[in-house]
Structure 1
Amino acid sequence: MRRLVIFTAVAACAAALVTAAPAQADPVGTGWTLAFNDDFNGTAVDTAKWNFRTDVKAFSAQRPENVTVAGGLMSINLKQEAYAGKSFTGGGLISKQALRYGYYETRAKINDGVGWHSSYWLMAGDGSTTFGPERRTEIDGFEIDSKSSPTALNTNHSGVHAWNGTSTIDAYHPGSTYNTGLDLRQWHVYGIDWSETSVKFLIDGVLKYTAPYTPAQWTHDYTNIWLTSIGYGTSPDPAFLPTAVQFDYIKYWQRDYYLDNDGPAAYGYSETGTWLASTLNGWNYTSPSRYAACHSAGNTATWRPNLGAAGNYEVFVYKIAAANSDSNVRYDTVHNGVTSTSYVNGTTGTSGWVSLGSYSFAAGTAGSVKLTSSGSGCARADAVKFVRA
């Protein structure tokens, strides 16, 4: 079923009738749950979901007043005006919710006219700066610069940037700048499919680029969604102003669930007994791990996910292999009221994910995995993942 959306553009832009995308189906594959979305069907920005971009950078200052919601669209209005020492203003929205692996999708229409950098990307931050000290991951769904031509907008950049706060990690920047063969001033659908091993970039359902990106290479952050446009690359051309970049919707689906002993993924992690911080890294680059008092039995660590959907999940625990690790760690997996027990030897092999089996789980927080130390060596706790079968 298709729907028609009537929108009013910025001042001096004529009203137009646009055909919005069909109602979005789940991504390809099974087990997806819609975990974040905004269809921009209200009359104002939903500030429970969004922060405004407010930095001053390159050729423009970013203003909350430039972001409007009307007629089923979110518009970032681009203007020539003096503000905060700049001659032009842009803007944008940054999600308050931080997310990680899953499928992200938006439908967007880029402005005409030189001098603007419009983007849809994932990075930790609240919009006040793009140089937050906490950021490690940047994933660019699209970065479209209108600096090259006022009329031929067809070039896009997609890729991954590794950050260490305010500095980039120069050794790791997989990305691609390419001619899409499309007029990006028209409506197109842009997808980001982020998994533990790679990031895939799609336009109108067609895979355009795959960036290899594993947690062994660099830290995988929880990130915020950025929908923005700023003056960048060259001074904007006033002849094309005012204008707007527009977004029809933004959606995020989740399928797999990761729990850790630290950070946002620690929401379902708990311990009993005596536990200490370890110098051994966990599954995510430089992420900390924990260990129970060595040669002490009965210490427990529990991971309890909040599963968005019922179904079959394969459960993995991240084993940190070391000569003094516990040689007989017990793992109890609770699934639909049944407990399945597994044992893992932490002294053999290499560190990595170990499968505890595939089980049926109900939605919500009833399922769990509990580690119990045997007293043989030092039991180590890091992460558990529930991968939808």
Structure 2
Amino acid sequence: MPRATRLTLAAAAAAGLLALAPATTAGAAATAPPGTGWTLAFNDEFNDTTVDTAKWNFRTDVKAYSAQRAQNVTESGGALSLNLKKEAYGGKDFTGGGVISKKKLRYGYYETRAKINDGAGWHTSFWLMAGDGSTTYPADRRTEVDGFETDSINPTKTSHNVHGWRGPTTDGAVHYGSGHYDTGLDLRDWHTYGFDWSETSVKFYIDGALKYTAPYTPDKGMHDFTSVWLTSIAYGTVPDASKLPSAAQFDYVRYWQRDYYVDNDGPGAYGYATSGTWQRSSLTGWTKDSPVDYACAAGAKATWKPNLRAAGSYEAYIRKTASSTGGDPAAKVTLDNGGSVTTRTLDERSGSSGWVSLGTQTYAAGTGSSVSLTASGTGCAHADAIKFVRR
């Protein structure tokens, strides 16, 4: 949505003129976040009459004061509505709802435009975590990024957080957060919430203004893929039944990508291939619970091909796995930029594990570039991950 349009809508919302109006104009253009190289890679404008179940799962857990129901999630007038009710279901007296994206995403810029309900007792949030909505304690729970968490009892306050979990328990969890602060805004009106999640930090924005920056160091190897959650549940205090039924609403959700990572397994292995004999090692890779591959025979090759959605200047890196006893001291790294080839030697027997820069170049969009690692036969070469970071 154009910035001028957003400002006009925000002014109208502040005046109370949009309370019953559609969330947005159908077909409004998606504008990119600040900076260059962003490409819209996932979105839902909520302009249909039913929820797109090819994109979304429904939240169906029972937690705090409410049970969550798929029937409480509706789409009309250009908005997704999470309908909040005084209703006996699942052993609770209230029902809420939410949607969770089926698509798994990682680093990039995430944005939504939302308004919370009027009336105490509801916790509305825009966040990332693993899972399908049946529980908030899935076995693969690792990174959680909270774009906003707002309790309707305090409609001007919100918080932004990064949590590092270690599965379904809270043992060893680490947390970074803004605290529950007063935004100076009435969050029952429409506001835009965005966050830029990178390998080293998460920057949180409201209406384009930076509000909080959290370091992204929750735990070693937590570079996992997550789902987008848009949810509202009864939490914190018993809901004010006199204000029900009500709804929390979302105008759209959008995800832009700028940096590109290719792993040796999992969702990020879309562009990974090997030739020769490779095996899984006992060494932990860049991502948690993801061991690296290794090959000891000369000529065995691992290749990573990123799918660059936008042409531009990128710095390419390969992830080095150091092994002082068995690493390949003369592994060959080849960077192929659309037929322009450069090579270098990667010594895995000295130094420490980490990203090794292969330099900055201009690349075309698509899959015409690649990074490959070839074993020399003197020791064992290790294949983990590569990345192309926009410069």
TM-score by length of 2: 0.91
Say whether the 8 Å CA contact 1:141–1:201 is kept in structure 2. yes
- Deviation of 1:109 after TM superposition, in Å, equals 0.3
The whole-number CA distance in structure 2 between the counterparts of 1:190 and 1:169 is 30
- Deviation of 1:169 after TM superposition, in Å, equals 4.4
Deviations 1:252-308 (A, max 9, x none): 000011111121111111111122222222223453112112xx2101101111221
Q: 99-108 or 360-369: which moved more?
A: 360-369
Which residue matches 1:10? none
Q: Which runs of 5+ in 1 are unaligned?
A: 6-13
Against the structure 1 CA distance between its residues 315 and 85, is the aligned structure 2 distance closer, same or farther, given a 3 Å change threshold?
Answer: same
The whole-number CA distance in structure 1 between the counterparts of 2:21 and 2:372 is 56
SS of residue paired to 1:301: strand
Against the structure 1 CA distance between its residues 169 and 213, is the aligned structure 2 distance closer, same or farther, given a 3 Å change threshold?
Answer: farther
- 2:327 maps to which of 319, 325, 328: 325
Which residue matches 2:263? 260
The whole-number CA distance in structure 1 between the counterparts of 2:343 and 2:216 is 33
Which residue matches 2:46? 40
Q: Are residue 51 (structure 1) and residue 57 (structure 2) matched?
A: yes
Q: Provide the aligned length of Structure 1 versus Structure 2.
A: 375
- 1:277 maps to which of 274, 277, 280: 280
- Deviation of 1:348 after TM superposition, in Å, equals 2.1
- Deviation of 1:41 after TM superposition, in Å, equals 0.9
SS of residue paired to 2:21: strand
Deviations 1:146-174 (A, max 9, x none): 2xx3xx41111211111122112445111
Matched residues, percent identical? 61
Deviations 1:50-102 (A, max 9, x none): 11111111111111111111111111010111112211111011111000000
Say whether the 8 Å CA contact 1:116–1:232 is kept in structure 2. yes
- Deviation of 1:208 after TM superposition, in Å, equals 1.1
Which residue matches 2:292? 289
The whole-number CA distance in structure 1 between the counterparts of 2:127 and 2:19 is 29
Which residue matches 1:305? 306
Which residue matches 1:205? 208
- Deviation of 1:218 after TM superposition, in Å, equals 4.9
Give the aligned residue type for 1:267.
Answer: Y
Say whether the 8 Å CA contact 1:104–1:251 is kept in structure 2. yes
Which residue matches 2:165? 163
Give the aligned residue type for 1:387.
Answer: V
- Deviation of 1:379 after TM superposition, in Å, equals 0.7
Say whether the 8 Å CA contact 2:107–2:198 is kept in structure 1. yes
TM-score by length of 1: 0.92
Which residue matches 1:133? 139
Against the structure 1 CA distance between its residues 133 and 94, is the aligned structure 2 distance closer, same or farther, given a 3 Å change threshold?
Answer: same
Q: Are residue 225 (structure 1) and residue 225 (structure 2) matched?
A: no
Give the aligned residue type for 1:301.
Answer: A
Give the aligned residue type for 1:25.
Answer: T
Give the aligned residue type for 1:153.
Answer: P
Deviations 1:203-229 (A, max 9, x none): 111111111113764512200000000
Give the aligned residue type for 1:228.
Answer: T
- 2:353 maps to which of 343, 351, 354: 351
Say whether the 8 Å CA contact 2:163–2:218 is kept in structure 1. no
Give the aligned residue type for 1:52.
Answer: F
The whole-number CA distance in structure 1 between the counterparts of 2:248 and 2:173 is 33
- 2:104 maps to which of 98, 106, 113: 98
Deviations 1:194-249 (A, max 9, x none): 00001111111111111111376451220000000011112111100010000111
Q: Which runs of 5+ in 2 are unaligned?
A: 10-17
Q: 91-100 or 361-370: which moved more?
A: 361-370
The whole-number CA distance in structure 2 between the counterparts of 1:184 and 1:28 is 23
Which residue matches 1:8? none
Q: Are residue 17 (structure 1) and residue 21 (structure 2) matched?
A: yes
Q: Are residue 237 (structure 1) and residue 240 (structure 2) matched?
A: yes
Say whether the 8 Å CA contact 1:216–1:283 is kept in structure 2. no
SS of residue paired to 1:233: coil
Which residue matches 2:189? 186
Q: What is the RMSD computed on CA atoms of the aligned residues?
A: 2.0
Say whether the 8 Å CA contact 1:161–1:168 is kept in structure 2. no
